[in-house]
Amino acid sequence: MLVAASELMIERSSIEISLSDIAQKSGANAALVKYHFGNKDGLLLALLARDAATEMSNLEYLLAQPITATAKLKLHIAGIIRAYHRFPYMNRLIHYLLHESVAGSADEVSKFFVAPLLDFHRRLLDEGVSRGEFRQTDPVLFYTSLIGACDHLFFGRHAMSRATGVGPVTDEVCRQYIKHMETLICGGILTQAEEAAAAG
């Protein structure tokens, strides 16, 4: 059922799907969908939790790698942008569940997405500072900058397309944006010595 919901949202470029749509796509009946998830918001929360769990496990793996904090940072920037591209409904789900859904959804999203990501940023930044690679950087401001910029690439794409004529977020757009965000963020937090090393 979660696979069906994910596929429908990708096909329609929208999170506006009904339980009957999901039932028809999955081959289950609507009553079964309701039994498992309670309602549509319950299903959307379960879908976001599933997708977030994959990304959160990747963060722990990344932190454990025997590479520089700068290399981890660049891999993280690329990973976040690619996750939004792979799950194009993710940012809309996050906005919906944080701001428009039933009471309790925002707490759940904070618990399995926002808090673990903030914690990862805090630990990565601390590692970079202790190794002399990063300047002191507030993890909340860092989170806001990185996630906000990645989110807006997808969430604000429709408005930008009307204003500037830009097209959809393709693989090439993702590659360009990853490079842009690496330059922007690394230029802001790398120490002078690390910037010089990165420049070659």
pLDDT digits (tens, 9 = 90+) for 110-144: 888 888 999 999 999 999 999 999 999 999 999 99
Q: Compute the CA torsion angle 149, 42, 111, 55 (nearest 10 deg).
A: -50
Tokens in use for 1? 């059922």
How far is it, in rounded angstroms, from Cα 142 to Cα 157? 22
Instruction: Tell me the backbone φ, ψ of residue 160, rounded to 5 degrees.
Output: -65, -35
For residue 171, give the nearest of 73, 48, 78, 76 by alpha carbon. 78
Supply the pLDDT for residue 167: 57
CB distance 15 to 44 below 8 Å: yes
How far is it, in rounded angstroms, from Cα 185 to Cα 72? 13
Segment 64-79 shows an average pLDDT of 95
What is this structure's pTM? Answer: 0.79
pLDDT digits (tens, 9 = 90+) for 136-178: 999 999 999 988 887 777 665 545 555 455 556 678 888 888 9
**How many other C-beta atoms are found inside a 10 Å radius of the C-beta of residue 45?**
23
Q: pLDDT exceeding 70 applies to what percent of the chain? A: 87
Q: What angle do CA 187, 193, 196 make, to 5 degrees?
A: 65
Structure-model confidence comparison of residues 53 and 197, the more confident one: 53
Q: Is 182 helix (H, G, I), strand (E, B) or coil?
A: helix
